[in-house]
Amino acid sequence: MILASNSQRRQEILKDAGFNFKVITSNIEETSDKKIITERILDIAEKKLEQIAKNNKNKFILAADTVVELNGKIFGKPKNREEAFSFLKTLSGQIHRVITAYVFKNISKNILIKEIVVSEVKFFDLDDETINWYLDTGEPFDKAGAYGIQGIWKNFS
C-alpha cells in the first residue's frame, strides 16, 4: 500500500493496524474551488491520490486531508509560531470541528472508497503561558489547527 501523506499520526495508525506501506507524498497545491468545506477537503484528498496514482499502477493508495473549522474559518497547518499561537488562542474554550477526508483506491480493480469524518472538539480556556509551553514542544507545527488531539494536547480538551 502507498500512503500519500507525511503525517506521522497516519503512519502510526497504519503501523498499529499491521499494514505494510510506503510513504509517497504528493506535491499538489492544496487548493480547491469547492464551496462546501467537506467537499473541499475531499477534493484535496482526491487530488493527492490521483497524483500518486499516475506513477503507481496496480497499487493500493490511501490519501487524506484534515482541517480545523470554527464558525466558517478554516485552520490548516500553521506557517509559523505566531500563527500557531493565534490558532490556539482563537480555538481556546471553543467547540470547533476537525474535518478529515480519506480516499482509498485499489487501482487494479478500480475501486474507490471515500469518507469524510467530522469530530467536535472543545478545549479548556487556555492562557498564554500554556499555549507557549505547548508551542515549545514543537508538536503543533505540522498539524491542522496547530494541535494533535492524540499527543500532548489531549490533556487540554
Residue 147 has pLDDT above 70, yes or no: yes
Predicted confidence (pLDDT) per residue in 28-54, tens digit: 888 888 889 999 999 999 999 999 998
Model pTM? 0.87
Q: What is the DSSP letter of 50?
A: H
CA neighbours within 13 Å on the CB side: how many for 23? 12
More confident residue, 72 or 57: 72
CB of 26 closer than 8 Å to CB of 3: no
Q: Hey, what domains does the chain have and what are their CATH numbers?
A: 2-137 (3.90.950.10)
Which distant-in-sequence residues (6+ apart) come within 8 Å of 151 by Cβ? 139
**Residues tagged active-site:** 65
Determine the 3-state secondary structure of 125 from DSSP: coil
Mean pLDDT of 19-26: 93
Residue 27 has pLDDT above 90, yes or no: no
